[in-house]
Amino acid sequence: MRVEDEKIIGMVNIRLMLNDFFKEEVGHIGYVIRPSERRKAYGIRMLGETLEFTKILGLKDIIITCDKSNIGSAKVIQNCGGRLDKEFYSETFEEVIQRYVIREKE
């Protein structure tokens, strides 16, 4: 939430435990930015702060995915240290998914 106008900018979802489906296709972190607030670096800030929190929780290798067509999200993930692990077609989401891993820096 942006303090000066109390506007919700976006939301983050952290998944502490992943089953096989979540490990493969969804990941530990999901986030969304209000369309009118995109391309203003909020995604990088939100994901960066979320990664700091996951360190406190003891999570080491963070899995995060995005649709291949979502270039903005891919750039946010890459700017926060994400390395493309693989790309695949998801039957569930009916589109190509990019799976990234963000490793905690020692």
Q: Which residues contact 29 (CB under 8 A, 6 or more apart)?
A: 12, 13, 14, 15, 47, 50, 51, 54, 62, 64
Q: Enter the CATH code of domain 10-103.
A: 3.40.630.30
**pTM (2 decimals)?**
0.91
Whether pLDDT at 106 is above 70 = no
pLDDT of residue 29: 97
Whether pLDDT at 105 is above 90 = no
> Which tens digits make up the pLDDT trace of 47-81?
999 999 999 999 989 999 999 999 999 999 999 99
